[in-house]
Chain A
């Protein structure tokens, strides 16, 4: 998309005048298909059904904006959709706010918007309102996106820490650490053999299947920043019980394992964008795994541990039969020296 012979974002694109309108009409409206958005009023107006709703918001500032398996746009949709999905909600509407750096190539913006539209299509959600601001060059790194999402809680679903009991099983829908490695390798220019792709994907499809089939789900969490270990620790602390994980059962694919080893990082602490953890009654654990494995985003689903009485700690049984403690991540993962 070229405007006035220019192919980059200008400060004037954010001033609310003619260029802003061009941007909205020629870019956002072209890709985001929504009758509500088309009205271009100050607020999106829509009817609601009865029942409980969920709302969540998230800002996306990923460096670099494009990485193997996705980009900041796909992330901005999937991240918010997944936060609603793991809360037991059916995501319906999103808002999208863009803060752009002056000089950002419009082609990059367009490809980010296209991948947002693609992710919305897969997730079955609509972007119904948005905003654009442009800041001077150097005031931010290329592009920040904020998305807010609303959804309906599925009838009869009651998720919460209060429902977790000793004996409950811990499940995960697949291999860990792909997003973290994909972004790190791209950021630092590591060129390892065999590219690891981000697992960025909307999880509402697999989760709605699970909620329909399995009654005994206590809680679900998506395993974003801080990875499985940090999320498990948050859950254990919140419910005052211990979580035991078995290293032999936790799926980590060979590409991630190799890269993580080379960089001195632990896959259990690496970010994911298409993985979630489920805590479920022991009676329904096997069935839940089977349901997950029936969906393309759950082929490698496993039972990886269980809840035990305790004091809010997370323990990992190692491959040797030893035990180690897992805690919240401290500082972001940095590649090591040797």
Chain B
């Protein structure tokens, strides 16, 4: 048994589950209602759904999902620009997989591909550079999507492409930063939260310290967590304990990956290539200094300048009835949206939270739509 297997150990998980449930009852009694926690990472959303944790904690703890899926928070305006890029003659658009299906205001990359655009999935931007070298007649534009986790990889890729003298490769950066988004969510007076489960992979880059502001400014217990069953249960246990004791701290429970200072090398790479800018988030509006734009020194690799892409008009175009805005803020749960599962489904998604495999609506749709009758096996 590897040390990691202990984090998936069924017997251990079930024992801890019992303790979490008992603690949750105690907290609920004290608060006069179930504790409300928000998870800020799409991978946590999926892991919680997969474990069936909400059904196990029903009436004890309410778990909401925040703006932690990079696909879901990519704004219409950015998708429209990507679509315009894909339509340019001679351009190959490279992207991570789940960006394909996200609807812009008129089209999606999947539709553009069906119409003849050259849109390709790469697992790593380095593969996109290799493709550019092998196809010098094409301009290869890689979509820089994701948070602090993917930005350093894109930064390293740029450095390598420049060192190699690759002239037909560029980046369309739509990278975003998690701490400003958390601030935007927590500043909402309507939202009543008791604690946060913080993203494990993002924290590996930023470090634990980057989240101290949650305690200083909002006084909320927070836990950095991994993604295995035990990780998530340990995080819930920690949050409930802090609530019982009336404490508020940012605790790192993912110590096998996350350091106090984070990954200094990755942070340095991000700082070398990108600068922080105000960008729109789908559902949250424009958040100050929450996006990463390529620095002027990398203009020759910046698709926005190199291909002279006009910014698409900002759009207030929201599908009527779509509650993704409120869902991304943790204000509503997916089943509370009136389009959920009747009009908006993974096959015919209306809003972005249903498109991405990590979106809250897709996770709920797949795993949590109905309460079953009868027991387990």
Chain A contacts to B: CB under 8 angstroms: 188-190, 242, 244-246, 248, 263-266, 305-306, 308-310, 313, 315-327, 330-331, 334-338
Contacts and interface: CB of A to CB of B under 8 A. Distances in A.
B358 A264 contact: yes
A188 B376 contact: no
Interface string B338-358: 000000011100000000111
Contact of B372 (A323, A334, A335): A323
A244 B376 CA distance: 7
B101 A331 contact: yes
Contacts of B49: 324
Q: Size class of B's contact patch? A: 35 or more
A330 B127 contact: no
A336 B200 CA distance: 16
Nearest to B365: A327
Interface string B97-109: 1111100000000
B254 to A, nearest CB: 15
Nearest to A309: B374
A320 B229 contact: yes
A320 B233 CA distance: 10
Contact of B367 (A246, A264, A325): A325
Given A319-B51, A320-B14, A321-B17, A330 B345 contact: yes
Contact of A334 (B13, B53, B357): B357
B56 A322 contact: yes
Contacts of A316: 52
B374 A248 contact: no
Contacts of B347: 330-331
A315 B52 CA distance: 11
Given A189-B127, A318-B50, A321-B376, A337 B99 contact: yes
A336 B358 contact: yes
A314 to B, nearest CB: 10
Interface of A: prevailing SS = loop
Contacts of B56: 320-322
B121 A324 contact: no
Contact of B377 (A305, A324, A335): A305
Most buried by A among B55, B146, B150: B55
Given A188-B123, A318-B51, A323-B376, A338 B201 contact: yes
Contacts of B53: 320, 322
B96 interface: yes
15 contacts: A263-B123, A310-B372, A319-B229, A320-B10, A321-B17, A321-B376, A322-B52, A323-B372, A324-B368, A325-B372, A327-B365, A334-B98, A334-B121, A338-B147, A338-B150
A334 B144 CA distance: 17
Given A318-B51, A334-B121, A336-B97, A248 B345 contact: no
A335 B123 contact: yes
Given A322-B51, A337-B146, A317 B8 contact: no
A335 B96 contact: yes
